[in-house]
């Protein structure tokens, strides 16, 4: 078997792309999108018709409504080629707005349900700010499953689990980027700081019996992916899926509930004060969370400008 086939024995593989034509080749169970991936996709000729249709169908309505229609259009196309769930992101500008995030999550789910898609096939992506986590807590109680994104540290992960979030997406590659930029060194394999962060989160969840799924995300190389074999899910870009498909090197399971049980990690009770202090004490997590929100906001604005120019 190639590495991708071997990896699937231990971990649910998810495609990290808005390019639904590329998804079919790798047979992932789920797929994830974000504002940057959607912006990238609509700049390709084969996906421009989706944007044109969204603009036409929302004539006379706000640009915000056009973007929602576009996100749903991509989600519906992706759901045609995967058996599982698609993640659709809320507007990053709502990252510090609990009520706004709740309203947007409800709205996106309603649009999917109007299109005949049950809510158990949708994950609403929300930034792992304190406000975003509180929004997820409300949505989860309504049966709206959430994917907590832009997650860089254990404090965020604990808060998400205690709020009952369905799934978290710790960003392996962006953690790696931060340490590489700070030290000037490239750290591969088991010592990769992004890998270590996800292993710690996974271990904490499994040791203390949380049901929240852990989905490693934002990979820079296949080494990071293979070091997390056994994680609940891994969301992987098409180019790295191809590299895994091209290799037949051995893949071994690195994470398991059994290994987690023997950990010496201690349980932490997370409240707002502890969350904000722990996050503030972690320079990497603080910087990458802010940077990620800014980047997603900027790409949403670029998409708005594209739509405005088409009207």
What amino acid positions are annotated as catalytic residues?
A: 125
For residue 203, what are the CA distances in angstroms to 52, 197, 230, 272, 308? 45, 10, 11, 23, 47
Neighbour-count burial for 31-64, b at 16+ CB within 10 Å, e otherwise: bbbbbbbbbebbeeeebeebbeebbeebeeeebb
Supply the DSSP symbol for 142. Answer: T
Q: How far apart, in whole angstroms, are the C-alpha atoms of residue 167 and residue 272?
A: 20
How would DSSP label each residue in 209-254? T---EEEEB--SSHHHHHTTTTSSEEEE-HHHHHHHHH--------
> Minimal CA–CA distance to 144: which of 162, 171, 117?
117
Supply the DSSP symbol for 24. Answer: G
């Amino acid at each position: 078997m190639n590495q991708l086939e071997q990896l699937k024995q231990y971990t649910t593989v998810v495609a990290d792309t808005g390019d639904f034509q590329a998804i079919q080749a790798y047979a992932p169970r789920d797929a994830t999108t974000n504002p940057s991936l959607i912006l990238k996709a609509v700049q390709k000729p084969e996906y421009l018709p989706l944007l044109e249709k969204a603009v036409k169908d929302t004539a006379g309505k706000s640009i915000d409504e056009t973007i929602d229609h576009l996100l749903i259009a991509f989600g519906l196309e992706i759901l045609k080629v995967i058996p599982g769930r698609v993640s659709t992101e809320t507007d990053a500008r709502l990252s510090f707005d609990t009520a706004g995030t709740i309203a947007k999550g409800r709205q996106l789910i309603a649009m999917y349900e109007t299109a005949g898609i049950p809510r158990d096939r949708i994950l609403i992506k929300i930034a792992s700010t304190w406000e975003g986590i509180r929004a997820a807590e409300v949505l989860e109680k309504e049966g709206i499953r959430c994917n907590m994104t832009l997650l860089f540290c254990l404090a965020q992960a604990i808060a998400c689990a205690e709020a009952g979030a369905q799934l978290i997406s710790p960003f392996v590659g962006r953690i790696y980027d931060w340490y590489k930029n700070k030290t000037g060194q490239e750290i591969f394999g088991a010592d990769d700081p992004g890998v270590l962060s996800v292993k710690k989160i996974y271990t904490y969840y499994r040791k203390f019996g949380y049901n929240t799924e852990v989905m490693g995300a934002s990979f820079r190389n296949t080494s990071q992916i293979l070091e997390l074999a056994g994680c609940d899910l891994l969301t992987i870009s098409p180019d790295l899926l191809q590299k895994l498909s091209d290799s037949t090197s051995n893949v071994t399971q690195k994470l398991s509930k059994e290994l987690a049980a023997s950990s010496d990690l201690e349980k932490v009770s997370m409240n707002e004060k502890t969350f904000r202090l722990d996050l503030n004490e972690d320079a990497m997590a603080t910087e990458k969370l802010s940077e990620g929100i800014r980047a997603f906001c900027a790409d949403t604005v670029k998409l708005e400008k594209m739509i405005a120019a088409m009207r």
